Amino acid sequence: MIEKVHQLKKEYDSLLQELAVGGGHGEKYQKHARRIKELAPIITRFDELLEVEKQIKDAEEILKEQEDGDLSELAKEELSEGGKRLEVIKKELSSMLTAREKQPGTSQAKGVIVEIRAGAGGDEAALFARDLFEMYSRFAENKGWKKELIDCHGSEMGGLKEVVFGLEGKDTYALMRHEGGVHRVQRVPQTESSGRIHTSTVTVAVLPETEEIQVSIDPKDLRVDTFRASGAGGQHVNVTDSAIRITHLPTGITVQCQDERSQHKNRTKGMRVLQARLADHFREEKEREIAKDRSSQVKTGDRSEKIRTYNFPQNRVTDHRINITLHKLESIIKGDLEKLFAALSEI
């Protein structure tokens, strides 16, 4: 938590310096001013924490030099009060950071784009990708969220090699933000005749669609290709080139959409995904720039990390980030994620 506040402190100081040098006008000034206003309460509380820590250190030095007398009694009292105050400030900071994560930037995320892809494990990974898609779909339905399918590629056995969909509704980002990462499944595949347990992986990416981060996309930087779409398993074959593939040339980021029969609608959906991916790309770039001065990286939930294991024979789900195991896999796969998400909201 303290590392995260240090990071915000550096950003805060950097913005103040940039405003002082750049003057007080323009869109950039307004954006920085809003960000400073957003960070100010956290930085003020952090400065209080540093001051209390200094007072505690001074009191400890006095007690080392003088164990008895009026001065030592004052130091003991300062130490006791300082310790209590320190705990209060830390709890307040933790609450402020949690609230900030639930409402990133100056405006809450209006929705998320979720990308699920089969990893190691072949057909079994694709089948589990379908299971995760259905799990999130049921959870979204229970929450009253709007779900919109953007892109989907099926496998021969009825699984999903890749599926991209949007979720919109109250607290979508606050609840889904921890799902990005590698999800591991341990079970007997449908194709396994000997009953041997296999381990497969599926990757999940969650991209917030925020109103704050608006990436300006120059049409000259885009290459748009069209092709004929087909649904999962070769169904719904189109006879027109309605599917869209959009490549952002400067970054190499590529998105495609073939869910709609209209080329225009597919292009609109594809641009939404591109906007979110570019925002995520530039956000990560900024985080790396802020983090490069630190000796150790703050854990950011990198997508290459294994975050959760679903063990079917033992009916358990283990989240490795918070070291929690729930023996209710069947209900979790059916969309009962409330308890798991409640535990994750504490980190």
Q: Can you give the CATH number for the domain in which 165 is found?
A: 3.30.70.1660
Predicted local distance difference test score (pLDDT) of residue 216: 73
pLDDT exceeds 60 at position 88: yes
Q: Which of 69, 102, 135 is the last residue of a domain?
A: 102
On whether both 176 and 307 belong to a single domain, the answer is yes
Q: Is residue 296 part of a domain?
A: no
Going by pLDDT thresholds of 50, 70 and 90, the confidence category of residue 101 is low
> Residue 183 pairs with which residues in a beta bridge?
202, 308
- Residue 140, classified by CB atoms within 10 Å of its CB into exposed (0-12), middle (13-18) or buried (19+), is buried
Is 41 inside a domain boundary?
A: yes
Residue 132 lies in a domain: yes
Q: Count of domains in the chain?
A: 3
Check residues 38 and 176 and name the one with the higher pLDDT. 176
Q: Residues with Cβ < 8 Å from 116, sequence gap 6 or more?
A: 129, 132, 133, 160, 162, 163, 164, 202, 203, 204
Same domain, 334 and 264: no
Closest by CA position to 121, among listed 202, 200, 203, 204: 200
Judgement on whether residues 22 and 89 belong to the same structural domain of the protein: yes
Q: Does one domain contain both 8 and 83?
A: yes
Same domain, 179 and 88: no
Mean pLDDT of 185-190: 88
Give residue 24's pLDDT band: very low, low, confident or very high (50, 70, 90): low
Q: What is the pLDDT of residue 235?
A: 46
> Is the domain of 182 the same as that of 228?
no
> Residue 42 falls within a domain, yes or no?
yes
Query: What Å distances lie between residue 191 and 14, 123, 299, 337, CA to CA?
Result: 57, 9, 37, 28
Residue 293 φ then ψ, to 5°: -85, -10
- The Cα-based distances of 145 to 173, 266, 300 in angstroms read 12, 22, 26
**Average pLDDT value for residue range 69-93:** 85
The enclosing domain of 260 has a CATH number of 3.30.160.20
Pairwise CA distance, residues 57 & 53, whole Å: 6
In the chain, how long is the greatest CA-to-CA distance?
Answer: 93
| Helix, strand, or coil (residue 86) | helix
Q: Is 165 a domain residue? A: yes
Residues 228 and 91 in one domain: no
How high does pLDDT run on average in the chain? Answer: 81
Residues 90 and 129 in one domain: no
pLDDT tens digit sequence for 233-254: 444 445 556 788 999 999 899 9
Residue 191 has pLDDT above 90, yes or no: no
Domain assignment present for 312: yes
Residue 209 is predicted with a pLDDT of 75
Q: Note whether residue 130 is domain-resident.
A: yes
- The answer to whether residue 35 sits within a structural domain is yes
**144 and 33 in one domain?**
no
pLDDT, one tens digit per residue, over 120-153 is 888 999 999 999 999 999 999 999 999 999 889 9
CA distance 145 to 313: 32
| Element of type H or E holding 131 | helix 123-143
The reply to whether the predicted model has a pTM over 0.95 is no
pLDDT in tens, 286-336: 666 544 433 332 233 334 458 999 999 999 999 998 889 999 999 999 999
pLDDT value at residue 22: 62
In the predicted model, is pLDDT for residue 68 greater than 90? no
Indicate whether 132 and 20 sit together in one domain. no
| Domain stop point among 68, 102, 136 | 102
Q: At 137, phi and psi to the nearest 5?
A: -65, -45
Domain residue limits at 249 = 219-291
Any idea what DSSP says for residue 218?
A: -
pLDDT score at 146: 93
Same domain as 55, residue 32: yes
140 & 59 share domain: no
Among 34, 69, 102, the domain-final residue is 102
- Region 256-270 average pLDDT: 83
